[in-house]
Amino acid sequence: MALSKRLPTILLAVVASALTVTGVVLAATDPNPGGLSKDTLTLNGYPPHSASLLVTVSTGQAYSLSANVNLDFRTNSAEAIVHFPMVFSVSSVDLRLVNNHLYAGSAEATSGPYLSVPMKQPALFGVALEMTKPDIALITGFPRETITHNGYVTTYDFQRDNVAITTILGGAGQQASVGSIDWQISVGSQGEVISSALRVKGPHATTTITATVLAYNNKVSVSAPAPGQIQPVGTSIIRRLLNSAPLSSVLIPQNLTSLGQLHLN
């Protein structure tokens, strides 16, 4: 499968898993006599116009990264500052998805350059709707499900064995292996998504993708780099860069629909 077709799937996989599932809950506590926590992410039923997230990807000691992600649902654009603490000499990379182009450059260089490759953007407004109040009852395909309550937070844990899995950069001809997935979704007092976690376990490795919502409706501005900073490149160069990194060991379900069906309200 060509990378130009594979990358949007990768982006959707990470964003969908990260935005509609859960692992670590951020909550600001209100120092009141009852010791009750306060839900600071309430949306009152209205889709957010922006969101800021902390996303992590880990394959154990072999590989880990974290990213601060800003989503602007009004302009359908996104930016991520990705940190590679164990892999690259350039510790942070600035990724921007604007006007159907993916830009990548060093987060520490103010004057570029930015590599640019065409990429069709997903409809982020649909993500905003899911984050407002996903219909958990419509998720299917998981034999085991548990629900826990902790203050205003409700966490749903879905588990499934015997799932075909592959690496995130694997092509159509790659041999799949069999593993298991553990998908958690945490929502707040009004059903808004708070955080998410997807754990994919294979015969010899385990990948965990988590995301925590840091803020809704904060000021977010994502723009393309200045024209003089942009260097268009072919997808083959991006593929070589990705294949040279441990990112190629990250596991995902081979058929993303095996995560179940999550419908919008």
Per-residue pLDDT of the chain (265 residues; tens, 9 = 90+): 443 444 433 433 444 344 333 222 222 223 333 444 689 999 999 999 999 999 998 887 656 788 999 999 999 999 999 887 644 454 788 999 999 999 988 887 777 789 898 888 888 988 999 999 998 888 888 999 999 999 999 999 999 999 888 877 665 556 778 999 999 999 999 999 999 999 999 988 899 999 999 999 999 999 999 999 998 887 776 666 656 555 667 777 877 544 544 333 3
Residues 93 and 82: beta-carbon distance below 8 Å: yes
Report the 10 Å Cβ neighbour count for 10. 16
Which listed CATH number (1.20.58, 2.50.20, 1.10.3470, 3.30.160) goes with 3-26+39-259? 2.50.20
Alpha-carbon distance of 111 to 216, in angstroms, equals 30
Closest CA to 151 of 242, 28, 36: 36
Query: Given CA atoms 68, 206, 9, 107 in this order, what sign does their dihedral have?
Result: positive
- The residue type of 207 is T
Q: Per-domain residue ranges for the chain?
A: 3-26+39-259
List strand residue ranges (DSSP E) for the chain, in order.
Answer: 28-29, 37-38, 50-58, 64-72, 77-83, 92-98, 101-106, 114-118, 144-150, 153-167, 177-187, 193-201, 206-216, 230-232, 251-253
What residues are paired with 102 via a beta bridge? Answer: 97, 117
What's the pLDDT at 219?
94
Give SS3 for 54: strand
Residues 56 and 65: beta-carbon distance below 8 Å: yes
Alpha-carbon distance of 51 to 225, in angstroms, equals 21
Which residues fall within 8 angstroms of residue 34, CB to CB, at 6 or more apart? Answer: none
What's the pLDDT at 9?
38
Residues 185 and 134: beta-carbon distance below 8 Å: yes
Q: 53 vs 26, 37, 70, 170, 217, CA distance in Å?
A: 11, 21, 6, 26, 12
